Amino acid sequence: MGPKMWGTNRGYIDSPHKIYSGNLGWGLTSQGLRDAFADQRGLLSAKVIYERDTGRSRGFGFVSFETAEDAESALSSMNGVEVEGRPL
């Protein structure tokens, strides 16, 4: 089963190989999260999760990768890295 595109998430490519990214700053966007992981091998896309009623970030998101190895590598590389002043 390969990656599939979710139309409601404006270009987010879902994959079985994704990692949870928590402790995100309230102002970080999906593009900002993608930019933070841009140097990681196999990056497909990233999305920040927002509250439905208020539109405010919930402080976490997901980053998807082509392979499990790519996801594990990114997890090791990015764990604790500061993005907008907050460690992932």
CA–CA dist 52, 82 (Å, integer): 27
CA angle 57, 61, 67 (to 5 degrees): 165
Residue spans per domain, the chain? 1-53
pTM, 2 dp: 0.84
CA–CA dist 12, 46 (Å, integer): 7
Query: What DSSP string runs through 7-22?
Result: GGGTS-EE-SSEEEEE
Length of the chain (residues): 88
In this prediction, what percent of the chain has a pLDDT beyond 90?
A: 82
Which residues of the chain have a pLDDT value below 50?
Answer: 1-8
CA–CA dist 16, 78 (Å, integer): 19
pLDDT at 11: 77
* Cβ pair 19, 61 in contact under 8 A: no
pLDDT at 22: 96
pLDDT at 88: 92
